Structure 1
Amino acid sequence: MTDVIDGNAVAADIREGVTECVDVLEDSGVRPGLATVLMSDDPASETYVSMKQRDCEEVGIEGIHVDVDNDAPAQELYDTIESLNDDDAVHGVLVQKPFVDQVDERRVLRTIDPVKDVDAFHPENVGRLVAGDPLFKPCTPHGIQRLLAAADVDPEGKEAVVVGRSDIVGKPMANMLFGRDEGGNATTTVCHSRTADLAEHTRRADIVVAAAGVPEFITGDMLSEGAVVVDVGINRVERNGESTLVGDVAFESAKEKASAITPVPGGVGPMTRAMLLYNTVKAAGLEADVDVPLP
């Protein structure tokens, strides 16, 4: 029987642990703070920011939000980030994507102070991850590691295939899967849009992480019997005149082959948000030199 990995349940456990961390920090006179910055009128981005602010409120983190006019010069965004870097009440800074045309994405990432970079996208944090000494782990890959652990899946010695090479998921996920830390030590292959015969790679994998942003393109016949499948994709498609969310994996056919699989929604998504809270309390603990009981 296939184990459908419940991301909501695992995320709830993480959030409970984060709440305990907040209590420890507040006993030491520190309230962790997460600042979100939005320079866009994209409705989806506004929704994501609202969800993150609500998450903060539920676990006791101080949520700070700053809107920057999307017609403003890019320098206004960079200056906003610098001011948050200097704000002692802010321990994590997150700038919501997508960015408007006048903004240099790489400059945004470089401007966030690495010790407040709770997304772990600053070049220093990327380098530390690759070197095996991360200050923070990127939220989605770290969430995937925790989902695998919750499902009693140890990547050590297994064949893992990551489909997608984005800076946000694919690249860091591959590094974490073949790294020497707990949750790693897999033999890892990264596939992408130029990979010849993708199915040849996925069929030999014990673990498949699908993160390419293409609706339902990983099907059951592309998997080995008993594979563990992690679906990172969130794609909105029209079916029978209605809009619905699907992943990068054709769930029903993949479920016939997989020993464990994450659903969409309710799989990786809740974990990404939970690990953002995790990184925020970790950042607050490091800044205050307080030993917090990270979940």
Structure 2
Amino acid sequence: MKKTKLFVIITTTCVGLVTLFSQTAATYLNPLKTDSIPSNHIALETESKDVKSATELLYDEIGLEGKLKFEAFDKAMIGYENLNFNNKDIITVIDFTLPSTEKRMFVIDMKNKKVLFNTIVSHGRNSGEKYAKAFSNRHGSYQSSLGFYTTENTYQGGNGYSLVLNGLEKGINDQAKARAVVIHGADYCSQSVINATGRLGRSYGCPALPRELNKPIINTIKNGTMVFIYAEDPAYMASSKILKKSHITLLAQHDVTGGADSIAMY
């Protein structure tokens, strides 16, 4: 009987030691179990998802949310950062994803981070009715051209006070000057036309403005500022060499809300 009890005790002890050894070995062999990850690592991962890019911070500070699509502003910033303009204090973004009945032209003061003008703007007559959906660089197309431009000189023409645009994207808008695609005022670009027809009148491809805003806008953006005309157009997105570039850290130089530590560099 004593031998039986002794055998049971020895057996139980051996089983316990084997179990303890197995658990200890598992701990050393698997040091990175999910439940062993420090809680601060998880917190850092979650926090990084909430960090805004420099472009997002600038977009928020200018107050563009609910007015200009972030996608349009984001694409505009790629050109703004990578191209050389004589005057980088002012940019113009035209968002052709919006109908002509809405204020889709934005003149932005980048230095003081505010919108100077937000107005309606006409598109080319063969680009579409209420929405601009078709775009061309071809002579006689009477369509708008997308992409990046730089503004040049002003002149008095058949449409009055006008501003020359130089298209910067080969095969996309580089025929703008030859096509006489300029910024000018037009009677068909007005709220009264919208009220009467349900849309703006259309141009031969020019971004035409309301008469009363034409001169002040042209005088603000003339002589070397950036103009970017945006649309969700797959052909343009695929062919634009400028949009294939990456964001650079130039925007980090702006005194944006949140400070440098809040900026996710590209």
Could you say which structure has the higher helix fraction?
A: 1
Whether these two folds match at TM > 0.5 is no
TM-score by length of 1: 0.29
TM-score by length of 2: 0.31
